[in-house]
Structure 1
Amino acid sequence: MRTSRVDLAPKRCPHLRARRLASTFSHVVSHSDTDSRVRAVLGPTNTGKTHLAIERLCGHSSGAIGFPLRLLAREVYDKVRKLKGDASVALITGEERVEPPGARYLLCTVEAMPRDGGGKAFVALDEAQLSADPERGHIFTDRLLHARGREETMLLGAATLEPMVRALVPRAQIEDRPRFSTLRHAGSSKLSRLPPRSALVAFSVEHVYAMAEMLRRFRGGAAVVMGGLSPETRNRQVELFQSGEVDYIVATDAIGMGLNLDVTHVAFASLSKFDGRRQRRLYPAEMAQIAGRAGRHHQDGTFGTLTGGKIFGSAEFTEEEVYAIEEHRFAPLTQLYWREAQPRFDSLATLIADLEAKPDVEQLLPAPEAIDLAVLKRLAEGDALGSDVTTPGMVRRLWEACQLPDFRQQGPDMHARFVARLWQDLRQGHLGADYVAARIAELDRTQGDIDTLQGRIAAVRSWAYICQRPDWVLARDEMAARARAAEARLSDALHQRLTERFVNRRTAVLMKTMGKDAGLLRVALEEDGRVLVEGEHIGHLEGFRFVVDAEASNEDRKLMLAAAERHLPELLAEKARRLVASEFGDLRIEAGKVLRGQHTVATIEPGKSPARPRLVLGRELAALAPAQRARLTEALDRWFENALAPLAPLRKLEEAALDPSAGSEVRALLLTLADRAGTVPREGAGLAVIAKEKRPLLRRLGVTIGSLDVFVPALLKPGPRALLRAIGADRRPLRPGMEAVIEGAKNIPAGYRRAGSQAIRVDMAEKLFRAAHEQRGRGSRSFVLDPALATSMGLTPDSFVRLMRDAGFRPGHTRPQPQGAFGPPAPVLWTWRAPRKDQAPRREGGPPPREGSAFAALAGLLR
């Protein structure tokens, strides 16, 4: 084990630390109580809060406003500069510092904002509700508690912040501002039917680019706004939209933080995002923050979701979310995140202890470990620091280095390596100008694709931040100017590259981000067999073979060719339907036959496998001429192949079972699954002889190995089950709706297992088992199971217990309440013992292989 060079044992007196925290918070409260100049202006978006703050700023002799984003700080900086002149206004962010000597008005990001207000006459904090954000909330909380103006202080935020303001800033004057316009839910719509002046919001750069490309194809173009663009490029994109040159703008969720645009509708491409820790659904307040961009001043707005294609999925707002957004009613904040903003630098141990200290105020929560603290701990535990980080000055300098933002989004481990390399130079003094200039020059190259340019922009932002530090870089002003210029050039190159692709290479981004999903393009089959994509002739069908038009081979038509290929099965099925309809009319599959009305057109007989039956034309068609019979047979086979599309998962199993590389044990299981229509009891699956390294192959084939069953979830849907029954591949009872739980324990339909007096679908049973194993995996021998999920499915308590017993779970006895005690009874404690489920296969459940079939012979040999 490696021994740390830094002693992390906290060297402090607990009583002294408690007194220091109590003194800090008593100072905050007493300061707030005696300060009657604090105004909290709260309300939803489009209430004019930021505009009011700008007016009040300009009405004072000096002032400062802290914003959550540098784009927003830059936008307000440009407005105030026009009113007060360049010499009076400063812009201070982590990566940019425009600070004329004697500047009286500061527009900053919250991190760069003076902690106590800098002695300005007016101080404002924008989007103060972000104090509840796990990543940056502690910074907003600190400014909310301490940043004060000499004459006036203004806190701007959502109405959910009101309880916290009353508790932490008791003498603040709270003003509620109503929204100027109404906001209404407009439902979901396809991309091609979005109204003009719409904003589309996505939560990944790839989706932003893909939607911008599709909007260019459908509606002539779209502007793009992202946090990674330079302010100049962002302004150029916004001007495209504001001037009316394009009617659509595609943005990340950064659009929700104060960018004022003439938007009438906001469409969400998704309702979930990755927040740095996990993929989660947006909170209603976050949805409202973004949706509120629709409708400016007294113009009403609407919001909704996008549907269609692989990008958008099928996310929809719930009724509760719609009500909350339209009525601006959200759960109030009950606690804010806090971290010691003035830690002691006596030693690394003291610094870390102060940063992890808990607040003594009930309205404040200790902030989750941010990346700067995570990096500090990694460096302190490693060998990168040496033995010289012992003085308060060196500890402070190291902490400042650890606060370098992770612009590259690489995570704590990779970012800690970058900071460690930076520290090797900072510990000796300054970074040399030649060294910094060389690093910036390496990044200042505009060649490469979109991803390359984005990576360089993120890297140069790190150097722009480093160059802003007054004691890190020699020739700081010159190096900072070089970094800003490099970022601007890279952002402009990115903008140009996107424009070129949207205009001249309309397939490149879409094909990369959508995986050749051209589902939104219009493809049509003419009566004469011609295939049209977006109204352009792209080829024709010769019989059932697609022939590409000779003039459609240039690069500009790649997307249309891909769309035609993607839609080829649909086109062939359409021709088959027309051909069959001209001879037969409407067809259906029932009881092993293909019927037209009540007349049999063909019978369905067993083929090479259960999912590949064959058709035999009815006797009444035998009198047809050979040529006409062949034409109708070809059309009917094509129609039948399309009708069997729901059985694609079963065909995958059958094809894999014929692959010798899968191994005899896996092939035997696949054969059994295929012959039993996708569901086999675990005790009959022979899992005991299947090596663990073979199980990923089963997962790739869509096979789930459950606690009691091995099954294919895709074959438990009503469509495949009904089709298997109709073609005669599965003669077990059918439940047309495939409900989660049904009544009755006899004649159990295919895809279900017995649960007491009921039956439950095997995938729903597995969901209950997995939830139970999660509870069991928390370390205790006895555990509590919540029956709420089973109840919501429709299982009775007795059926639930019987089902869980089959999987090895045993309920304990209910402990009676002591005499005279009140309240609910103590929960039942469960235990678990592995059931005997992986023994040699026993012949029970499901139909046996058909005698004489290839599957029966091969399964017998393998066994």
Structure 2
Amino acid sequence: MILSGRGVTAVLGPTNTGKTHYAIERMVAHETGVIGLPLRLLAREVYTRLVEKVGQHNVALVTGEEKITPHMARFSVCTVEAMPRETRAAFVAIDEVQLAGDLERGHIFTDRVLHLRGRDETLLLGAATMKPILEQLLPGIHVIERPRLSQLFYSGSKKITRLPQRTAIVAFSADEVYAIAELIRRQRGGAAVVLGALSPRTRNAQVALYQEGDVEYLVATDAIGMGLNLDVDHVAFAQDRKFDGYQFRNLNPAELAQIAGRAGRHLRDGTFGVTGRVDPFDDELVKRIETHHFDPVKVLQWRTTRFDYSSLQSLRQSLDAPPPIGGLTRALPAVDQQALDHLSRYPDVRDLATTPERVEKLWEACALPDYRRITPAQHADLISTLYADLVKRGTVNEDFLADQVRRADRTDGEIDTLSARIAQIRTWTYVSNRPGWLADPTHWQEKTREIEDRLSDALHERLTKRFVDRRTSVLMKRLRENAMLEAEISVNGDVFVEGHHVGQLAGFRFTLAAGTEGPDAKAVQAAAQKALALEFEARAARLHAAGNADLALSSDGTVRWLGDPVARLSASDHIMRPRVILLSDEQLTGNARDHVAARIERFVNHHIATVLKPLDDLSRAEDLQGLAKGLAFQLVESLGVLFRRDVADDVKALDQDARASMRKHGIRFGAYHIFMPALLKPAPAELITLLWALKNDGLDKPGYGDLIPVLAAGRTSVVTDPSYERAFYKLAGFRFLGKRAVRIDILERLADLIRPLLQWKPGTPRPEGAYDGRRFMATTAMLSILGATPDDMEEILKGLGYRADSVKAEEAAAFLAAQAPAAAAAETPAEAGAETSDEHDADASDEGEATAEAPVETTEAPAAATEAPVAETAEAPVAEAAGEGEPAEAKPVLLWRPGSRHDNQRQGQRHGDRQGQGERRGGERHRGQPAGERGERREGGRGRPDQNKGRDGKPQGGNRPDRGERNDRGGKPQQAKFEARPPRKEKPIDPDSPFAKLAALKEQMKK
């Protein structure tokens, strides 16, 4: 029967009206009392407050999963489901009575409201929307309306990352809650998480994390709307739809207000708003929430408490009974009724439920909560197993229970795994707390409670680890307390604030650690700067006194001190004097900054002057005058390498003294380049390319990062990459020749090997590789110094301007064989040796200089070797192949001759080169010419008349390789000796020719 409202007081009002506090004060004023609360979490909170007031021995806690029942306890704190149906307590209070309209749990609240009374006083606590229905159902009830202690204001829509501190963000699914918490962690340091699916212990730990200030944000479901006392300033709705157990629906204004009302505590005002993808609230809804005006609750959910246990069918029919009075509506089937419907279809269950006692036991088993959120059929299967044990054994099979508990007793896994285990163990905790279900309930209550606590602690740890940055949380707490943050710096530059790593000091730059963002970042940086200010001063002093060994210049233009970047180089007006830009924070100022800048500039200038000493000395040379000084200036501007063709006129105009003065500074006049061999070493080559790259914005150009280390490693030749900047090859001392690039000093040595082959005259001992005085063949010595294959050699020679004639191996062998008798009848060995010695000595100055300065050592074949020619050795495989069967065709022999490029270069090289060589034994060798041509001063009649004439008997001239040219001393022509001519008929010498007297004189000397 429904009791009247006499002696019942309804304390109604919005959140933050102190209703729960009022109920606690009223209960302790009585001798005994019972209070029912909607959540186990809230029951725990009220239990703790009562224990503080009256002592632990006077308070009992009774929930579906937990029982703390001291002997002779005066007060009981329960969840509404665990409240007794009848009580002799003097005081009874039921909190959040508006839940009587909830579709899932409403019928339980309605039952307690209608049937449970205190002996002296009964309080019903809830929203003001319950006033009309309570007055209708409970005539004579006394209603007290309490106003909110603080104001509630709408603040509109804000992005999640812009929400103020002390904000609770509300969503209605675990996935959404976790996603928001992860975003908050990344952007603002971390958030606590409160879900209905979490165990009470885990929820308590998460709430404590927020309440104690370790985090400034709370992400939760509508569980926070049920009386949790939280220090929340703002509530933001990230969702406004929820699944109520039956369907997805929008929250009504009263539900929104219940949650929004968590903002503001006591006399402090609060705000609410929306975030994420939720549309802003309309003005009418905002006004209703701010003024707490909502539609009243018109009906309460109801289910009969007069169950008919005579049979399964009778029990089911009794559950379908209609409400006895108006204002009540029959509740939809709850979890227990759904389980009963499934079990009534099981034959084995119907066979067991044959007596009223067994039917009642079945209904008791159906009350098992579905903590695991599984399907009704699966939940019914578990109940069927338990019910069979209760009927057949009298208690649940403890072996089965032990196996289920053991499976849940593991703390490994992530959040979802631990949550599932907690749900499972809560099921067995409920079973262990049911009266008469277990033979040893105390053991299993302790066992399941221990496991649940351990799993809850592990879940709290996982949630905190995933959604809270502990470093940031500690710092924010200290900042809120207005405490001075303590900072320190380790020897390796790690910066710690309050013992937490917040960044790294590299050189004179401080970088915050990843994740140090948001409003606390400035405070953290300010705290760190206090320690950094003194550290900067100390580091500046150490750097100022540091030796050059502690500093280094990287290939990217960065100056490093003990490995840390402290400056970078930038282009300036002078390529050898780059500008130094400090890499430092603003805290490095005054004298400390000046000392650092001055020390780094000294190091850079000293490093350049040391590594590029020949180039630096050349830029300061005072002994160079005129053309030599201008050519030296060009060489410095080009960083030590000039193409000879670009300065051919200047080189030609140099006299002997000027050339000698330039050689003193390490300059070599090569066949193809004017260069400084000392700069071809790895260290100078790398620094030169860096200076050029700084001046020409080349640090990011193709090839700089990949090519320079290879070129600077001492290689004599490398495979080229067409996509790379060609200037880097030249700056590193390499000549780009098609598929390969060759170091320029190696090219000069190649010219030294080719020159005697083109100077050879038929009838004299033939060096290896010489052919007919006009052409030559590639030799193993050439391949060796180049580190190249025959195919590479072909590319290189073509790149140098030589042209190839293809001759069959047999023809080449026959031609060389025909030359052998002529060589035997040549001049005496003594005379040949004397002439060779003269030629060698004439080149000693340049050749010795080049060999001494070469970065690597290579073995050069003797110029006058008399081994068998390559063409002759080619006959062996031909003969062998012929002996086996069909004769194999031998590979053609390539005969190389100077091309038009050499003819053009020769005009700018001959005259100046001869002057630079000096007179040696009455002759001067013209080295440095690409094809080996030379001029020879005619002294003492050593020249031959026929070598001074063309085929027509006239003096030679023009640009042909075998043409003589005039020197600057006597104006007499010099003969090009690199090309031998076949025997021809002598023509009379023109008496008017300037060579006539010289030729006659030479003939007389021979006689």
TM-score, normalising length: structure 2: 0.46
How far apart are the structure 2 equivalents of 1:293 and 1:505? 26
SS in structure 2 at match of 1:236: helix
How many Å apart are 1:451 and its aligned residue?
Answer: 1.2
> Paired residue for 1:679?
none
For residue 462 of structure 2, the aligned residue among 497, 501, 504 is: 497
Residues 116-135 of structure 1: pairs in structure 2 closer than 5 A: 116=86, 118-135=87-104
In 1, the alpha carbon distance for the partners of 2:455 and 2:299 equals: 41
Take 1:380 and 1:425, find their aligned partners in 2: how far apart are those partners? Answer: 17
Q: Match of 1:195, as an amino acid?
A: P
**What is the match of residue 413 of structure 1?**
377
Per-residue Cα deviation, 1:223-274 (whole angstroms, up to 9, x for no partner): 2222333333323222222222221111111000011111110011100011
Cα pair 2:191 2:467 within 8 Å, conserved: no
Instruction: Give the distance between the partners of 1:430 and 1:354, measured in 2 at CA.
Output: 27
- CA spacing shift, 1:100–1:387, aligned 2, 3 Å: same
Confirm or deny: 8 A CA contact 2:186 2:515 kept in the other structure.
no
For 2:265 and 2:348, the matched residues in 1 are separated by: 53
189, 194, 199: which is aligned to 1:225? 194
Q: 2:12 corresponds to which letter in structure 1?
A: L
2:307 aligned with 1:343, yes or no? yes
Q: CA deviation at 1:84?
A: 1.2
Partner of residue 114 from structure 1, selected from 84, 97, 102: 84
Asked if 2 retains the 8 angstrom alpha-carbon contact of 1:94 and 1:112, the reply is: yes
Q: 1:471 aligns with which of 422, 436, 440?
A: 436
Q: Does 1:275 align with 2:244?
A: yes
Tell me how far 1:60 sits from its aligned partner: 0.6
Separation of aligned partners in 1, 2:9 and 2:467: 47
| Corresponding residue SS for 1:387 | helix
Partner of 1:59: 29
**Contact 1:340–1:354 (CA<8 Å) still a contact in 2?**
yes
Contact 1:271 1:315 in 2 (8 A): no
Kindly tell me: are residues 534 and 224 of structure 1, through their superposed partners in 2, closer, same or farther at Cα, counting changes over 3 Å? closer
Report the Cα distance in structure 1 between the residues aligned to 2:218 and 2:348, rounded to whole angstroms. Answer: 46
Match of 2:141 in 1: 172
Cα shift at 1:354: 1.1
Once the two structures are TM-superposed, the CA of residue 160 in structure 1 deviates from its matched residue by 0.8
CA distance in 1, matches of 2:263, 2:410: 38
Query: How many angstroms apart in 2 are the aligned matches of 1:432 and 1:281?
Result: 45
Whole-angstrom CA distance in 2 between matches of 1:82 and 1:441: 36
Q: Distance in 2 between matches of 1:504 and 1:106?
A: 39
Q: Distance in 2 between matches of 1:488 and 1:269?
A: 31
Return the match for 2:9 from 5, 25, 39. 39
Give the Cα–Cα distance (whole angstroms) in 1 for the partners of residues 60 and 67 of structure 2: 8
Query: Does residue 271 of structure 2 align to residue 302 of structure 1?
Result: yes
3-state SS of the aligned residue for 1:384? Answer: helix
- Could you tell me whether the CA contact under 8 Å between 1:43 and 1:159 is conserved in 2? yes
**Runs of 5+ unmatched residues, structure 2:** 472-512, 518-1007
Unaligned runs of 5+ in 1: 1-23, 308-312, 507-531, 537-863
User: Quick check: 2:344–2:350 contact (8 Å CA) kept in 1?
Assistant: no
Equivalent in the alignment of 1:456? 421
Number of the residue aligned with 1:677: none
Residues 311-365 of structure 1 show CA distances to partners (whole Å, capped at 9, x for unaligned) of xx24332322212111101111111111011312111111111111001211111
Q: Using a 3 Å threshold, how does the CA distance of structure 1 residues 228 and 484 change in structure 2: closer, same or farther?
A: farther
Q: Aligned partners of 2:127, 2:516: CA distance in 1, in Å?
A: 49
Secondary structure in 2 matching 1:153? strand
Name which of 337, 340, 346 aligns with 1:382: 346
* Aligned CA distance change for structure 1 residues 358 and 535 (closer, same or farther; 3 Å): closer
Distance 1:129 1:502, change over 3 A: closer
Other-structure match for 1:248: 217
Question: Which of 288, 292, 305 matches 1:324?
Answer: 288
Partner Cα separation in structure 2 for residue 262 and residue 503 of structure 1: 18
The structure, 1 or 2, with the larger RCO (C-alpha pairs under 8 Å, 6+ apart) is 1
Aligned pairs (5 A) from 1:5-154: 24=1, 28=2, 31-32=3-4, 35=6, 37-116=7-86, 118-154=87-123
1:720-731 equivalent positions in 2, closer than 5 A = none
Aligned residues of 1:230 and 1:491 also touching (Cα < 8 A): yes
Q: Does the 8 Å CA contact 1:266/1:293 hold for their aligned counterparts? A: yes
CA distance in 2, matches of 1:492, 1:95: 17
Choose from 407, 411, 414 the match for 1:442. 407
Are 2:146 and 1:183 equivalent residues in the alignment?
no
Q: Partner of 1:385: helix, strand, or coil?
A: helix
Conserved? CA contact 1:270–1:315, under 8 Å? no
- Measured in 1, the distance between the counterparts of 2:302 and 2:88 equals 23
Q: Structure 1's 535 and 98: CA in aligned 2 closer, same or farther, altered over 3 A? A: closer
Give 1:147 deviation, angstroms: 0.8
Q: Which residue of 2 aligns with 1:205?
A: 174
Deviations 1:493-531 (A, max 9, x none): 11112223346899xxxxxxxxxxxxxxxxxxxxxxxxx
Aligned-residue offset at 1:155? 0.4
Q: 1:504 to 1:271 in 2, by over 3 A?
A: closer
1:268–1:305 contact (8 Å) kept in structure 2: yes
Given that residues 228 and 457 in structure 1 are in contact (C-alpha distance below 8 angstroms), is that contact kept between their aligned partners in structure 2? no
* RMSD over aligned Cα atoms: 2.0
1:399 aligns with 2:366: no
**2:183 equivalent in structure 1:** 214
Q: What is the distance in 2 between the residues matched to 1:168 and 1:55?
A: 27
Distance 1:188 1:403, change over 3 A: same
SS in 2 for 1:90: strand
**1:641-697 Cα distance to aligned partner (Å, 9 max, x none):** xxxxxxxxxxxxxxxxxxxxxxxxxxxxxxxxxxxxxxxxxxxxxxxxxxxxxxxxx
Task: Rate the CA distance shift 1:397–1:535 in 2: closer, same or farther, 3 A.
Answer: closer
Q: Which residue of 2 aligns with 1:260?
A: 229
Please tell me whether the aligned partners of residues 193 and 463 of structure 2 are also in contact (alpha carbons under 8 angstroms).
no
Q: Distance in 1 between matches of 2:371 and 2:468?
A: 30
Alpha-carbon distance in 2 for matches of 1:213, 1:82: 37
Structure 2: how far apart are the matches of 1:362 and 1:284?
25
Does the C-alpha gap of structure 1 residues 87 and 406 become closer, same or farther in structure 2, counting only changes over 3 Å?
Answer: same
TM-superposition CA deviations, 1:479-501 (whole Å, max 9, x none): 01111111111111111122233
The one-letter code of the counterpart of 1:451 is D
Task: Give the TM-score normalised by the residue count of structure 1.
Answer: 0.54
Native 8 Å contact 1:62 1:122 kept in 2: yes
Q: Is the aligned partner of 1:373 residue 2:357?
A: no
Larger Rg over CA atoms: 2
Change (3 A) 1:407 1:231: closer
Question: CA 1:386 to 1:357, structure 2 compared with 1: closer, same or farther past 3 Å?
Answer: closer
Aligned pair count? Answer: 475
How many Å apart are 1:168 and its aligned residue?
1.1
Q: Deviations over 1:727-775 (max 9, x none)?
A: xxxxxxxxxxxxxxxxxxxxxxxxxxxxxxxxxxxxxxxxxxxxxxxxx
- In the alignment, is the contact (CA less than 8 A) between 1:433 and 1:479 conserved in 2? no
CA shift for structure 1 position 97:
0.8
Q: How does 1:512-551 map to 2 (within 5 A)?
A: none
Matched residues in 2 for 1:231 and 1:360: separation?
A: 37
Residue 300 of structure 1 aligns to which amino acid in structure 2? D
Change (3 A) 1:501 1:481: same
Counterpart code for 2:460 = H
Measured in 2, the distance between the counterparts of 1:243 and 1:401 equals: 41
* Residues 430-485 of structure 1: CA deviation (Å, up to 9, x unaligned): 01334323321210101112111111111111111111111111110110111111
Match of 1:158 among 109, 127, 131: 127
Opposite residue 344 of structure 1, the aligned amino acid is D
Q: Give the AA of the match of 2:4.
A: S
2:287 matched to 1:315?
no
Cα contact 2:168–2:218 (8 A) shared by 1: yes
For the 8 Å contact 2:202–2:457, the answer to whether it is kept is yes
Distance 1:249 1:380, change over 3 A: same
* Counterpart contact for 1:71–1:227, Cα < 8 Å: no
Residue 425 of structure 1 corresponds to 389
Give 1:32 deviation, angstroms.
1.0
Give 3-state SS (helix, strand or coil) of 2:172's partner.
coil
